[in-house]
Structure 1
């Protein structure tokens, strides 16, 4: 079968031929229908040797949807059957700690000792014709949801949902949330905020087309990133500033904007990994009562809730399709910032 493999650090992945895996024990073989591309894939491919605990080579792809093509002999009888359409819960933990047992593999207690972080992150992922899943517990049914919609929900949707969930206690009627970075995750965060809270949603990006996407996703207003953006956002919030900010960029300039626009007691969720940093000092420039979270991916129960939102029509991913054979072009466009919404590879 074909697979997009990372063979060496600091170089792009390669589309190559590998042997199709055979499920053994409790493993499940999934025939891939769609696999999303994420900036995390670029971070992994560009990593310096030794920066990540992963052992090369492996297949990329942690946003995966498809149908079950084979079951190992030890798969439980109540697991999804051959032919059932599923989405893959991507963060794979140890499977035995209390957090994994509770469906929170994203915060596995043994995460630092595993040598992988999940599908396509140290373990073979779904940018391929098939993917081998270690356990049926990582699979959730999607029914008739199109694969190109379902696949990005497993990270872009789930990570956004998890970040919003951590702030939802703040976001009642009359409050304001600011979403910085309206890309594959940000445009879904806008929709999730609209579907699950009563707050007003403001959007920030450096691209006019991204602000148009934010508007289509339900944002009340969109603002270009520039010198007076904090003042503009504060005015749009009704005066006191934002109750919550979700930063899907994480650069020095976006973190500065986030802390400048937050009202006292406000909370910041940093999801993006652009290398920015904050200085925590008291007294200092951070708002009084400021709280910071660094959400990572999401839980398996939350993924079920994301899928339910999508199947109900409350969540729709803006996608740009590429055949698997054009993976190089998809990665190049993602790197240049030319992808609209979420890039999705479709085995052709």
Structure 2
């Protein structure tokens, strides 16, 4: 099969050829529950940029050469002998983690903390290819209204945004304030989820006017350009007290400190983006009673819920399509901030 393969890290993202489009061996059925997916779409994620930069080499045990791509959807091509829930030809979306289902975390539905798991595109070959090996337990059948290329980024970007917004929606009352920091690939999904699940006023902060226009389209009540006057505008919009919930899809630079400042006393700060540090004096934690919540992708059940919203048209993805052989261009465009929404590779 054809695949876009990473052969060496590029810490500063300076090479012309980041991945190499080449022939590789087809994936094979190894266990009775394995399934081979014919890829219909593979999302290009900022985590992929971090993989290229070598950030994940000691975290996930990546061995080069390696195929990225952890946001995958397509059609069932081949099934192991124990598979009964899907058949060849079925359109499916893949939960990013392939788990056995036997450990206690799996039985509780907490897939991301499974004792044993395989994460295609992170610690195993992923979907920047024509075919992918996944597992029966990871697959969700797609309704006829949804095509694989249109939903692939939901498996990480969408699911992560859904998990954080769902947590926030559980305590947001009508008229309360929710601030979303970053209206890009994850943020534009999180805005729509908040709009679908609660009646809070949604305030979106971003440094890009194009991203803020997308935020408006996705249901934001107010948008704020991240400039010198940002904190003053946010203060005015929240009555000087901050928001009951802040969802930070940036998580680096000064976004973390500003996000905590935007969170009102007794409020919740949800951290999704990463790369920075959360630094707050313990006395401030005590006196403000703010809650800081981390978010790691999401569960299988949450991906089912997100597909239900997508099927109903409550959440839609803004995507830009690239052929698989143009993976280098997609990665460069993402690195340089030229993509609003999500990029998708199509074999």
TM-score interval, smaller chain: over 0.9
In 2, Cα distance between the equivalents of 1:88 and 1:248? 23
Q: Deviations over 1:208-267 (max 9, x none)?
A: 000000000000111111222122112113442211111111113111211111111111
Q: Residues of 1 paired with 2:60 and 2:132: CA distance?
A: 22
The residue number in structure 2 matching 1:14 is 20
Q: CA RMSD in A?
A: 1.8
Q: CA deviation at 1:69?
A: 0.8
Could you report, residue by residue, the CA deviation over 1:302-340 in whole angstroms, capped at 9, with x for unpaired residues? 000000000000000000111111111000101101012
Does the residue aligned with 2:261 lie in a helix, a strand or coil? helix
With 45-54 and 299-308 compared, the bigger mean Cα shift is at 45-54
Using the TM superposition, give the Cα deviation of residue 74 of structure 1 relative to its aligned residue in structure 2, in angstroms.
Answer: 2.5
**Relative to 1, partners in 2 of residues 1:272 and 1:286: Cα closer, same or farther, differing over 3 Å?**
farther
Partner of 1:82: 88
Question: Aligned-pair distance for 1:277?
Answer: 1.5
CA distance in 2, matches of 1:286, 1:104: 30
Say if 1:259 and 1:286, in contact at 8 Å, map to a contact too. no
Q: Deviations over 1:269-322 (max 9, x none)?
A: 11111x221223232388701110110000000000000000000000000111
**In the alignment, is residue 37 of structure 1 matched against residue 76 of structure 2?**
no
Taking the TM superposition and a 5 Å limit, the aligned residue runs for 1:1-348 are: 1-10=1-10, 12-24=18-30, 25-47=32-54, 49-75=57-83, 77=84, 79-93=85-99, 95-108=101-114, 110=115, 118-133=119-134, 135-144=135-144, 145-273=146-274, 275-284=275-284, 288-347=288-347
TM-superposed CA distance for 1:51, in Å, is 4.9
Check whether the contact 1:4–1:127 (CA below 8 A) recurs between aligned residues: yes
Q: Could you tell me how far apart the structure 2 residues matched to 1:208 and 1:200 are?
A: 20
**1:187–1:213 contact (8 Å) kept in structure 2:** yes
Deviations 1:4-52 (A, max 9, x none): 2223333633222112123242210111111111000111111155354
User: Structure 2 CA distance, aligned partners of 1:152 and 1:232?
Assistant: 32
Residue-pair matches, total: 338
CA pair 287-166 structure 1, distance change in 2 beyond 3 A: farther
Q: TM-score normalized by structure 1?
A: 0.92
Q: Distance in 2 between matches of 1:335 and 1:286?
A: 39
TM-score normalised over the length of structure 2: 0.92
Shifted more, 286-295 versus 321-330: the winner is 286-295
In structure 1, distance between residues paired with 2:138 and 2:229: 45
Distance 1:287 1:155 in 2: 35
Distance (whole Å) between structure 2 residues aligned to residue 14 and residue 51 of structure 1: 23
